[in-house]
């Protein structure tokens, strides 16, 4: 143990350049001296070396050349999928031991804090795309256990588009930019995606999820995570228990509405990463519970769908979650590229006691991840990069290769060997063993019949939603298919939806303005209508009330009442939320009492889409003046249309009128901040929606 601890502590530092002692001292100042990559102190970093004052630059200028060459090679290939991501560090702590079910220490040793690195991502967009695109969120966790790294490379949706890895290339090609034109970016709302989806009925369940509000989360801190596949846990006796992994956010789930997501993408393309970075910097550490669904072969055989089919889930009402631990993210990265960009996850990163099932999607993933890192990170030594390096000894006969940083000692780089007494040897007692599964039957390229029902759980998911959530799914289908130019694709997709439910298909068809009867696509297995809805699949039903870590926007202008704003701030802080002041000028507003109300945002740069709830704190003159300012009118109108709870001073009424605000249970004019905040903590005013948006 002592030895492994020493290696753990020294490994990253040994791998870092420039760790050879104290920085060079700069003569006459407090800053350390700047050096080139070879540690030589630089005298002048402003001017290149020239033949004379106005003469040509000399090739002898090794400082210019080194700096520019390094810059030229700053980028590495971005991930083919999940390119847009954001990572943070923290720990995992087990509270309920699975001893007897697995021999993995990470799942049996209660109270040990295991360091983790977690990266959230969108799937389709390139690295520079907006955070709030409609998409699945990647939820990848690397746990640096003392038995090696264990990665749960999951998503925020518990099912996937396809059943067999051989279709992944096609799925991603269809979803990403169309190859001839190179657009659209970060969206599925285009012909090739829906062409593929409408031809591949197994995508249907996942389509319902990505058209739902799960695909437009309010915050990465408010999403669930799922390992998706069935894995195995293996105990000391080699016995297997099936397992599905779930991450549950302590803050509950929350989403934005689609029009809001579109506007946030323009107002702050970094909305999710800024939110996560700020929360962690301010000490609001996001936290998730780890839950497991454990089951045996008998349950698997009895369950109505195949547990190896990644397009199906096991409802919690049928197989409840056992909460076994928590993950807390309490540190931001020190360097985005070194950590978030270079982190390399792999489904094959498992520790003894955790094993794979025969899920054909998982089996395909098992070859893909390391392969992709080889080209993305440039060679076989990417595991030596500090963010990837295991925090336990790594000892084997693998040697050399691009950029190796381990000066491995000794003569012996092969096994078996007899020349060194301390060369590493396999350890059958503690090492990784695959589950002793018995396989029989013919070798075939075939899809199991038990994978054949593509519509029943899609309908169950829809039926599990609240009415507003169902309406959003319908609207999202209409939005996306309205961006599809090829009418036959639109019609085919609606025909596919008819297999889920003729009512859903008809609602989408009406929203698309399609004429004539819907032609359902032929299917062997129609949707079952007897599956019980699962409340666990709805965001709204699982909502955690309160404003903790949320953001309240307050609109002020010259003449606002400073004491009212201060009272609001106090109440907002007491609710655990953050108040941000928005004013026509970033320098702030001069309040009625002459004091300065400092601004966090200038009006045009701080639209109400950036806040969970808003308060309008204007004087009568201020409100009249801002009624002719489009940004102010949109500020209030958008908050209303996005179903937010709105508070306002009674003198703000002219602006509320200009913005078309109609009083309902979510509008608080002239009231006390406390009442407004309690209501805001209940979330959006869903009943308002039919008055601001067409429900098809």
Residues acting as catalytic residues: 82, 155
**Min. distance of Cβ 240 from ligand HDE in angstroms?**
20
Binding residue (CB under 6 A) for ligand HDE from 11, 82, 130, 491: 82
Residues in the chain: 696
Q: Is 678 helix (H, G, I), strand (E, B) or coil?
A: helix
Looking only at residues 203 through 242 of this chain, which bind ligand HDE when binding is defined by CB under 6 A? 228
Distance CA 192, CA 114 (A): 43
Binding residue (CB under 6 A) for ligand HDE from 12, 184, 252, 364: 364
Is the separation of the CB atoms in 121 and 138 below 8 Å? yes
Distance CA 116, CA 128 (A): 25
Q: Contact region for ligand HDE (CB under 6 A) — 39-47, 293-301, 363-371, 584-592?
A: 363-371
Distance CA 145, CA 115 (A): 7
Binding residue (CB under 6 A) for ligand HDE from 108, 155, 203, 311: 155
Is 365 a residue that touches ligand HDE (CB under 6 A)? Answer: yes
Of 91, 142, 159, the residue nearest 347 (C-alpha): 142
Token code pair at residue 347 = 């489904």
Looking only at residues 366 through 395 of this chain, which bind ligand HDE when binding is defined by CB under 6 A? 368-369, 372-373
Is 81 a residue that touches ligand HDE (CB under 6 A)? Answer: yes
Q: Which is nearer to ligand HDE, 369 or 696 (CB)?
A: 369
Distance CA 491, CA 13 (A): 59
Binding residue (CB under 6 A) for ligand HDE from 86, 117, 144, 160: 160
Binding residue (CB under 6 A) for ligand HDE from 242, 258, 345, 635: 345
Binding residue (CB under 6 A) for ligand HDE from 8, 66, 126, 168: 168
Q: Which is nearer to ligand HDE, 255 or 373 (CB)?
A: 373
Q: Which residue(s) pair with 331 in the sheet?
A: 89
| Dihedral class, residue 321 (left if φ above 0, else alpha if ψ from -120 to 50, else beta) | beta
Q: Give kind and range of the element (H or E) at residue 692.
A: helix 689-692
Q: Which is nearer to ligand HDE, 312 or 550 (CB)?
A: 312
Is 80 a residue that touches ligand HDE (CB under 6 A)? Answer: yes
Give just the sign of the alpha carbon dihedral 499, 502, 506, 508. Answer: negative
What's the 3-state SS for 391-426?
CCCCCCCCCCCCCCCCCCCCCCCCCCCCCCCCCCCC
Distance CA 296, CA 307 (A): 11
**Min. distance of Cβ 168 from ligand HDE in angstroms?**
4
Q: Which is nearer to ligand HDE, 371 or 510 (CB)?
A: 371
Number of residues that bind ligand HDE (CB under 6 A): 26
Of 462, 467, 541, 534, the residue nearest 505 (C-alpha): 462
Q: What does DSSP assign to residue 610?
A: G
Binding residue (CB under 6 A) for ligand HDE from 141, 165, 267, 473: 165
Binding residue (CB under 6 A) for ligand HDE from 107, 114, 124, 153: 153
Is 560 a residue that touches ligand HDE (CB under 6 A)? Answer: no
Q: Which is nearer to ligand HDE, 85 or 286 (CB)?
A: 85
Is 361 a residue that touches ligand HDE (CB under 6 A)? Answer: yes
Compute CA distances 511 → 36, 504, 585, whole Å.
62, 11, 42
Is 130 a residue that touches ligand HDE (CB under 6 A)? Answer: no
**Min. distance of Cβ 259 from ligand HDE in angstroms?**
27
Q: Which is nearer to ligand HDE, 176 or 365 (CB)?
A: 365
Q: Are strands 551-555 and 578-583 parallel, antiparallel or unpaired?
A: parallel
**Min. distance of Cβ 138 from ligand HDE in angstroms?**
3
Is 119 a residue that touches ligand HDE (CB under 6 A)? Answer: yes
**Min. distance of Cβ 165 from ligand HDE in angstroms?**
3
**Min. distance of Cβ 305 from ligand HDE in angstroms?**
16
Q: What does DSSP assign to residue 42?
A: P
For 455-506, give the DSSP string.
Answer: SHHHHHHHHTS-HHHHHHHHHHHHHHHHT---HHHHHHHHHHHTTT-HHHHH
Q: Give kind and range of the element (H or E) at residue 580.
A: strand 578-583
**Which stretches does DSSP call E strand in 147-223?**
148-155
Is 457 a residue that touches ligand HDE (CB under 6 A)? Answer: no
**Min. distance of Cβ 210 from ligand HDE in angstroms?**
13
Q: Contact region for ligand HDE (CB under 6 A) — 358-366, 513-521, 534-542, 586-594?
A: 358-366
Distance CA 134, CA 212 (A): 9
| Residue in the structure block whose two tokens are 């599990």 | 464
Q: Give kind and range of the element (H or E) at residue 208.
A: helix 204-210
Binding footprint of ligand HDE on the chain (CB under 6 A)? 79-82, 85, 119, 121, 138, 140, 153-155, 160, 165, 168, 228, 310, 343, 345, 361, 364-365, 368-369, 372-373
């Amino acid at each position: 143990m002592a030895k492994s601890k020493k290696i753990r502590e020294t490994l990253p530092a040994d791998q870092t350049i420039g760790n050879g002692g104290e920085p060079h001292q700069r003569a006459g100042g407090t800053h350390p001296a700047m050096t080139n990559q070879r540690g030589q102190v630089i005298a002048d970093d402003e001017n290149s070396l020239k033949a004379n004052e106005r003469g040509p630059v000399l090739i002898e200028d090794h400082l210019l050349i080194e700096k520019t060459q390094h810059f030229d090679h700053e980028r590495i290939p971005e991930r083919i999928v999940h390119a847009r991501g954001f990572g943070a560090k923290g720990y995992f702590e087990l509270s309920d031991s699975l001893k007897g079910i697995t021999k993995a220490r990470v799942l049996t040793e209660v109270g040990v804090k295991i360091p983790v690195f977690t990266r959230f991502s969108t799937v389709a967009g390139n690295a520079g795309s907006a955070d709030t695109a409609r998409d699945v969120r990647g939820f990848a966790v690397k746990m640096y256990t003392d038995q090696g790294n264990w990665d749960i490379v999951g998503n925020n949706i518990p099912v996937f588009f396809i059943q067999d890895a051989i279709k992944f290339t096609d799925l991603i090609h269809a979803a990403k930019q169309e190859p001839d034109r190179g657009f659209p970016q970060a969206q599925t709302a285009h012909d090739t995606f829906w062409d593929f989806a409408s031809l591949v009925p197994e995508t249907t369940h996942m389509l319902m999820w990505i058209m739902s509000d799960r695909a437009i989360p309010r915050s990465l801190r408010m999403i669930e995570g799922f390992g998706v596949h069935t894995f195995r846990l293996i105990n000391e006796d080699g016995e297997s228990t099936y397992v599905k992994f779930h991450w549950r956010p302590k803050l509950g789930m929350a989403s934005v509405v689609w029009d809001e997501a579109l506007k946030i993408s323009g107002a702050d393309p970094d909305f999710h990463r800024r939110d996560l970075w700020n929360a962690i910097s301010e000490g609001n550490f996001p936290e998730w519970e780890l839950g497991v669904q454990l089951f045996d072969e008998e349950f698997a055989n009895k369950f109505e769908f195949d547990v190896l089919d990644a397009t199906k889930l096991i409802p919690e009402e049928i197989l409840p979650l056992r909460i076994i631990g928590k993950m807390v993210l309490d540190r931001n990265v020190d360097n985005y590229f070194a950590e978030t960009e270079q982190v390399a996850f792999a489904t094959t990163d498992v520790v003894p006691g955790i094993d794979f099932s025969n899920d054909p999607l998982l089996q395909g993933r098992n070859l893909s991840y390391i392969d992709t890192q080889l080209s993305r990170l440039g060679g076989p030594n990417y595991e030596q990069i500090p963010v990837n390096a295991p925090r336990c000894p790594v000892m084997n006969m693998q040697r050399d290769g691009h950029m190796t940083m381990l000066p491995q000692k000794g003569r012996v780089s092969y096994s078996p060997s007899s020349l060194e007494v301390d060369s590493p040897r396999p350890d059958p007692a503690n090492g990784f063993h695959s589950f002793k599964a018995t396989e029989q039957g013919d070798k075939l390229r075939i899809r199991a019949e038990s994978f054949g029902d593509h519509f029943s759980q899609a309908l169950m998911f829809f039926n599990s939603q609240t009415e507003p959530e169902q309406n959003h799914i319908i609207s999202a289908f209409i939005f996306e298919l309205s961006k599809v130019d090829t009418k036959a694709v639109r019609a085919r997709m609606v025909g596919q939806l008819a297999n889920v439910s003729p009512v859903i298909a008809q609602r989408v068809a009406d929203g698309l303005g399609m004429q004539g009867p819907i032609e359902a696509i032929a299917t062997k297995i129609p949707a079952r209508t007897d599956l019980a809805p699962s409340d666990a699949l709805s965001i709204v039903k699982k909502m955690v009330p309160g404003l903790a870590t949320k953001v309240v926007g307050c609109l002020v202008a010259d003449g606002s009442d400073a004491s009212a704003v201060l009272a609001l701030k106090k109440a907002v802080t007491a609710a655990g939320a953050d108040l941000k002041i928005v004013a026509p000028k970033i320098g702030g507003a001069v309040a009625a009492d002459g004091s300065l109300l400092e601004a966090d945002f200038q009006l045009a740069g701080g639209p109400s889409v950036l806040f969970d709830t808003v308060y309008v704190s204007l004087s009568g003159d201020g409100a009249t003046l801002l009624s002719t300012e489009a940004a102010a009118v949109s500020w209030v109108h958008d908050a209303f249309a996005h179903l937010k709870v709105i508070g306002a001073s009674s003198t703000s009424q002219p602006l509320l009128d200009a913005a078309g605000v109609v009083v309902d249970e979510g509008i608080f004019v002239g009231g006390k901040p406390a009442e407004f905040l309690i209501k805001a903590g209940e979330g959006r005013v869903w009943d308002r929606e039919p008055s601001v948006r067409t429900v098809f």
